[in-house]
Every structure is written in C-alpha cells, then in structure tokens.
Chains A and B, each alone.
Chain A
C-alpha cells in the first residue's frame, strides 16, 4: 500500500474530519484532526485498517497542547501521525483510547502526569514515572516548568 492509497482511504472515511494532510515523504504523513474525533479515528486505524499503535506524544506549543498519535503500517513501512490540538491549556481534555487498545495504558498515564492532560473515560491515571508525592498541578514537560535545581544554580 502506498501513502496515497492510505490517505485516500482515510479521506473517503473521514473526509471533513481531517483538517489538514501533510504527506511529508513517501513513508510519513501527518494529519490534523479535531480532538473530539480521536476515538473514532483511532478505532478505525487500530481495529479495521490493521495499523500498529506506536505511541502518542504530547507537545507544549506555548498557546496550546498537541497530542500526536503515531501509527505504523508494518507491511508497507508507512507511519501516519494524527495531530489533535487541545486549545484550553488550563483544562485540557480528550477521550481515552485505552478502551480501544491496551497498548495506550501507560502512555496516557505518562501524558497525564507530565502534561496535565485529562483522558476522559480512563479510570487508571495513577502516576507512572513521577514520585507519589509530586506536587499537584506541576507538569514537568510543559514549557513553563523550570527545574528547581536549575533555578538555584542561577542564584
């Protein structure tokens, strides 16, 4: 399968739900979607289209948070990433995908503690990497987080 075939298939399925398609190279595509459609699209990719869920990565863009869901089509060597923009940084919400694939179990916990993103419908958002006594509301991978150690060095 080529990247055009994959994008055409997705266009036919989701058309208006895909805001922007960037075919960066013959093996990479980045597709912008609305956060509310994540569950539906991930379900199609994982259950029907035969993609493997690689991981998700959150990025702090200063004005908003974005989550990229990376999928790999192993038999054709193509990687497709879906980008969902969460505009409200004070209360970022998105639907969980752990009810679709258990492979997202840890990464949602990780994004929850490092970026403060709420995954609606996920009941297991316990800390994964940070200690249990980590202060509430402090998200180390956000851009406004400055390591306390680094601060004291400056002083």
Chain B
C-alpha cells in the first residue's frame, strides 16, 4: 500500500511579490504529485487600471513586481503606442534598452544568490547579492531610485541619462564584469555543482513548447525564443548580441543561460551608451484613439505581454497583463514530479518565481508526528550538497 504524505509550502508571508501555496504529494522521499494555489496577493491591477488614465497606469504596472520595475511599464507603454502608432524618439528607445538590461542583470544576480542559498552555497548567495549592488547604484544615480525607477512613459522616457553619468556607469560595469567572471568560474567550474544540478528537474523541449514556457526557462530547454530578437523593440535591433540557449533543460542549464545572459546584457548596455544619439526623449503624445494594442517585451523571466483596448477616453476599457511566470509556473508539474524532496526547492526555484515568499513550510505525517519547516527543507537540500562534497573530498 502506498503511503502518501502531503507537504504544504506557503502561502503566508506575503513580503515578496508572489505568495503561493504548493502542495507536494510525496511517497517517501519521492514527489509524486504537486499542485499550486496562487492569488494570495491578488490586487486586481487589471481592474484598477480600467479606472486610471494611461499616464497613471504606467505607475501602477510598475508596482506589479518589485524587480521588473522596467519591464511592465515598457510593455504597457508599447501597448498604448501600438494603438495609434505613436512614434518614440530614438534616444528614448536606447534608454529603454539600457534600463531593461540593467534590470535583467540585477534580477539574474538576485536569482543566482537565492539558488546558491537553497543548495547550501551561502558564499554564492553573499557574493551575488554584493556584486548586484553596483547595478542598483547605477539605477540610483541615473533614475534616483534603486527600484521603481519611474523612468518610463507613453511616447518616451521621463528622465534622460546625463552625459556626466556615462563614465560612472561604464566604471561600475567594468567592476561588475570582473566580479561576474569570478562568480562564473566559481559556479560553472565547480564539480559539486555539476553533480548537484545536472540532470535535476529536466524540462524537455516538447514540454517547454506545450506549456509555452518563456525566457531562460524555455531557452535552457532548447527553445530558441527571445522577444528582444523576435519582436524587436526599443534599441535591440540596433546593437549586436546573442541569444543564449542550452539543450539539457535541467537546473544547471537554466543557471548557465542566466549567467551567460548577464554578459550579453553588459555588452548591450555598453553599445547603447556608445551609440545613443542626442535628441528629445519624449514625443509627448496627447490623445489615444479608440482601438487595441499589444506590448511585448522580454523581461528577465521571459515575455511580458500587455493588451490594451481603448474606446477613445483617457482610460482603457481593458488592460490584460500576462507576466512570464504565469506561463513558466505550471511547468513544475513536469519538472518536480519524480524527483526527491531535497531537490524540490531548487527545481521550484529554477524558474525564478521569486520563491523566497514561501518562507513557511511544514510536513505533517500523522503517523510519527514528524514536523519539518522551511529551514529543515533547506537543510535537507544543503546536506545533499555536503554529501557530494564528501564524495569528492572537498572541504
């Protein structure tokens, strides 16, 4: 007779952007089924947006996510611009690209740190979050804020990048690249991490396509999609860069894709700063005619999609927002089932759902009253890494 235990994870502690509730069904150490509930922090932003003006809705969508403070506003602005074909000045397009790439860097660094923590590499956690600081400093210098920059508006951007800031940005990017190189070596050349992450939580290419997975989650499974290249926006068609893909689909491949993408991002920011023409940054559009528009951008986690329907008034009839995690989330049905409990945390974290909100975990087994919390699960995960280290005789 099979003896199933249920592990509820979450949903409390809504400090992060996405409180969620996972139910893992386990048989012994093996996960046999998984389900999720979301919506604990559902704020009804689509409904709120219907009662706000187009200018205001940019500020609202900026607050959807604590990390993507650039992705949602740009997607929203593009959707409004798409309704009537509003032209955006070239300099503003470059500034949008710069913001997007800096955001991608600090988002990927944040993920790398958390992933390190989950598998017991707290050094990676400390390093990644420390090395992320220069990027936040750049944002603070250029926009005035580390997060929620309020840089974007329909028809352009709200602030220019001052000439005297450019040398500062380049210096900080140089510092960052050195540190990223070191971190890349520490993570990708580590035999323990190879052992720990390779072959774990595989998302096959077929499943990635069926679930319409996006961003690094899809690219690590060999699905070669990137909105920046496929649906060119901002200044991405004016600079040279590569789309990073891997075939394996495991957690390691997702890590590789994110780390290598940061190098591309640095290169894009440098090229944009170099090529950026002088000129206006805002075309000051006035009216939005009736019609509908779509905005698609590549957020750090994948395509962010905004659909806006206008009736000619100052606020939208409908504003549909589809964030990338919405599509990446359900893939864990493929990746977690069949794996062990000690791998569940890193697999669920591998799609980068801002997982840290799930602070509370417990396992209740009525038979022996064995209760585990989040710390125990992280400990299990870290012990597995330690076992591998012992096998390799690494202190």
Are A103 and B305 in contact, CB atoms less than 8 angstroms apart? Answer: no
- CB of B198 closer than 8 Å to a CB of A: no
Are B39 and A127 in contact, CB atoms less than 8 angstroms apart? Answer: yes
Q: B34 to nearest A CB, angstroms? A: 13
Partner of A77, one of B39, B47, B232, B291: B232
Q: Determine the distance from Cα of A140 to Cα of B51 in the docked complex, in whole angstroms.
A: 14
Looking at A13-21, A25-33, A87-95, the stretch in contact with chain B turns out to be A25-33
Are A102 and B330 in contact, CB atoms less than 8 angstroms apart? Answer: yes
With a cutoff of 8 Å between Cβ atoms, the chain B residues found around residue A28 in the complex are 82, 294
- CB of B307 closer than 8 Å to a CB of A: yes
Say yes or no: A59-B230 contact (C-beta < 8 A), given A103-B211, A106-B329, A141-B47.
no
With a cutoff of 8 Å between Cβ atoms, the chain B residues found around residue A102 in the complex are 210-211, 330
Say yes or no: A128-B212 contact (C-beta < 8 A), given A28-B82, A55-B322.
no
Partner of A103, one of B37, B38, B294, B327: B327
With a cutoff of 8 Å between Cβ atoms, the chain B residues found around residue A105 in the complex are 330
Partner of A57, one of B85, B225, B318: B318
Task: Specify the chain A residue showing the minimal Cβ separation from B330.
Answer: A105
Interface size on B, residues (CB 8 A): 33
Q: A56 to nearest B CB, angstroms? A: 9
Are B39 and A129 in contact, CB atoms less than 8 angstroms apart? Answer: yes
- CB of B168 closer than 8 Å to a CB of A: no
Partner of A140, one of B44, B212, B309: B44
Chain B contact residues: helix, strand, loop or mixed: mixed
Looking at A3-11, A34-42, A67-75, the stretch in contact with chain B turns out to be A67-75
- CB of B231 closer than 8 Å to a CB of A: yes
Q: How large is the interface on A (under 10, 10 to 19, 20 to 34, 35 or more residues)?
A: 20 to 34
Are B46 and A141 in contact, CB atoms less than 8 angstroms apart? Answer: yes
Q: A122 to nearest B CB, angstroms? A: 14
Are B294 and A70 in contact, CB atoms less than 8 angstroms apart? Answer: yes
Are B303 and A79 in contact, CB atoms less than 8 angstroms apart? Answer: no
- CB of A53 closer than 8 Å to a CB of B: yes
Are A140 and B47 in contact, CB atoms less than 8 angstroms apart? Answer: yes
- CB of B12 closer than 8 Å to a CB of A: no
Are B39 and A131 in contact, CB atoms less than 8 angstroms apart? Answer: yes
Say yes or no: A77-B42 contact (C-beta < 8 A), given A52-B212, A54-B212, A54-B305.
no
List residues of chain B with CB under 8 Å of any chain A CB.
37-39, 42, 44, 46-47, 82, 85, 209-212, 225, 230-232, 291-292, 294, 296, 303, 305, 307, 309, 317-318, 320, 322, 326-327, 329-330
Q: What 4 A-B pairs come out closest when comparing CB atoms?
A: A103-B212, A129-B39, A57-B320, A55-B322
| Additional 18 contacts, C-beta under 8 A, given A72-B303, A101-B211 | A25-B82, A28-B82, A55-B327, A57-B320, A57-B322, A59-B309, A59-B317, A72-B230, A74-B231, A77-B230, A79-B296, A103-B212, A103-B327, A105-B330, A128-B39, A129-B39, A130-B39, A141-B46
